[in-house]
Structure 1
């Protein structure tokens, strides 16, 4: 019988042969076109000083000491949840330790047996994992294809009409407002209208929209003023806010339900006070009179204009901070990324099967702290290849 160690080694070797082997890397002294720190909050001296001042004021606990349902709850975190919910124009909110925990907790607990859960085919792995844990009947619709979503919803409506046991079944639709691999936006207004037509409950992950869209970074749902038509939103703190954790915003009833049934909330130690202080200070920055994400959007437009000057560059259309250039073939894509890194530019390849074969790409994340000169360096390298 093969040993467990040998089996694991064989699986890893197969992954290497398929050019899929992952390793941890440390990128030092490279220009950041890789991180999700869209607003530069993770490196903000102003934010660091605000956090330090709050900690000096007496919030010195190094650990939460337990779950929120035991010793880990505080008035501070409950007030923070109210502040964030108000900022996103929601009735209530519940903080989770990560965006992964939030998505798994929500999607595994809300849809019940006999319910239906329809997801965009390109949703994040955390949403997929949450959906897999659900007892609901699951369907996928083609990426951003409202017509296909409509067909799925109409079919479910027929099934509910034909089966008396399904008369009280709820239907959920789960999407991202900005998709992490392409940077493209969901057709949110059309999806909202379609869900309303069929009485479906819409769940929107705003991980890559928070901080980037909305006058004060409220996200795409708030920018389009459809917050009252969305059942639940997942807002993460680890991207544009430069912190860690996430919050689900929605109704008071939703919050109470998650406290009782979201296992990723119930059975884990709460984040430490320092983490919650960091999030509060980040939101204070978003809400300040000096906040603006206009420079970020200027750089996004500048990048796209430069890309269009080279007819050989295949750019995925995106108004977000995530810009992708198609470089077909895993090895070819990795080689181009390595060349860019050798020139001091931290740009990573996204290869199949993470993305479809032939659609391998350079994933370039733009930030408020990047410059036009740094962006031009990207195209100087690409134009010589």
Structure 2
């Protein structure tokens, strides 16, 4: 039996290798970073690290382990104070910390929608949302990406309670959800909107829900800290009822060891540092403008730090990536099954620390490659 199972696993891996889509762990390369999610450079910012180090030196007790789930022994007054701080920053009633955005979405979508409910997912929504929905007894349906007419047709034909799942800034396309129109549509049909802000958080202030003052009109928002905030983890933002419900019914929260105090301290430090350095966002937008002014074909929004340049065909895409790496320019090749076959693309992440010269070198090469098609 064991040999048969291993043979099947080996066949699956071999099939992926033949298709050119086998995933492998790679050490981060030495060169120009056009692929990490460190949009504002906080993950490698020495001044940000020095602030955190000083805080930890004054509070060495923060380095202790959590020792258990937050409902047993793993909660602390400090973690609660940081959650209160986050809620105040986002002008919402409550915040609940999670070890990752993936876990936050598992918690939300596995417990809020009920058996007779329907979850309507944007077809390009993050895999963590999809996996959370798989743990729910609710019915799941997709709607065409950012297509309000298709979403409305789903809402009009669907009886019972509906939930709508979107990202504010889509991680593989780099385009934006029409949040205000989505809120209006949800309100018209009595649906509940949940927004994943992983790639907007920090880049656009405290996220697009916050900057558009929609906090009280969405059911819940997920903000993550491992991207522009340079830390790790996530928070679900919502009213008292939503957060209390997660604490009581969300298995990914209830049965997970709590995060230690240093985890919360790192997150608070990123907020404080970002407030002290608003210029970082301006620098990032300047770099994005430098890239978009080159006029490359892209799926992405003009102000997005994620710029996806289409290169259909796995072999061609990988050749482009490897050629760029030979010039010490590191990008990310997005292949199936992450995206559909035929929609392969080079995902370029822009950062406040990239230079205009580096960006021009990248765009010059990419333009030459597209011009030779």
Is the Cα contact below 8 Å between 1:205 and 1:235 reproduced in 2?
A: yes
Cα-to-partner distance string for 1:134-193 (whole Å, 9 max, x where unaligned): 11121111000000010011111xx3xxxxxxxxx4221110000000010001111111
Task: Quote how far apart the aligned CAs of 1:259 are.
Answer: 0.6
Q: 1:41 to 1:25 in 2, by over 3 A?
A: same
What residue is the counterpart of 2:362 in the other structure? 378
Is the Cα contact below 8 Å between 1:59 and 1:273 reproduced in 2?
A: no
Cα-to-partner distance string for 1:74-126 (whole Å, 9 max, x where unaligned): 11110101111111111101101110000000100001111121111111000
| Correspondence 1:332 to 2:323 | no
Task: Quote how far apart the aligned CAs of 1:299 are.
Answer: 1.1
**Normalising to structure 1: TM-score of the pair?**
0.92
What residue is the counterpart of 2:330 in the other structure? 346
Cα RMSD for the two superposed structures: 1.4
**Normalising to structure 2: TM-score of the pair?**
0.95
What residue is the counterpart of 1:130 in the other structure? 132
Question: 1:379, 1:72 → 2: CA distance?
Answer: 49
Q: Give the aligned length.
A: 366
Task: Quote how far apart the aligned CAs of 1:384 are.
Answer: 4.1
Task: Quote how far apart the aligned CAs of 1:380 are.
Answer: 2.8
Aligned positions of 1:308-327 closer than 5 A: 308=295, 313-318=296-301, 319-327=303-311
SS of match in other structure, 1:325: strand
Structure 1 stretch displaced more, 31-40 or 9-18: 9-18
Q: Which runs of 5+ in 1 are unaligned?
A: 160-168
What residue is the counterpart of 2:11 in the other structure? 10
SS of match in other structure, 2:60: coil
Question: 1:149, 1:127 → 2: CA distance?
Answer: 17
Task: Quote how far apart the aligned CAs of 1:356 are.
Answer: 2.5
What residue is the counterpart of 1:209 in the other structure? 200
Q: Which runs of 5+ in 2 are unaligned?
A: none
Task: Quote how far apart the aligned CAs of 1:290 are.
Answer: 4.7
What residue is the counterpart of 1:163 in the other structure? none
Task: Quote how far apart the aligned CAs of 1:58 are.
Answer: 2.2
Question: 1:299, 1:290 → 2: CA distance?
Answer: 15
Q: 1:10 to 1:345 in 2, by over 3 A?
A: same
Is the Cα contact below 8 Å between 1:34 and 1:365 reproduced in 2?
A: yes
Cα-to-partner distance string for 1:185-222 (whole Å, 9 max, x where unaligned): 00111111100111111100000000111xxx210111
SS of match in other structure, 1:9: helix
Cα-to-partner distance string for 1:245-283 (whole Å, 9 max, x where unaligned): 100000011111101111111111112222211101001
Task: Quote how far apart the aligned CAs of 1:316 are.
Answer: 1.7
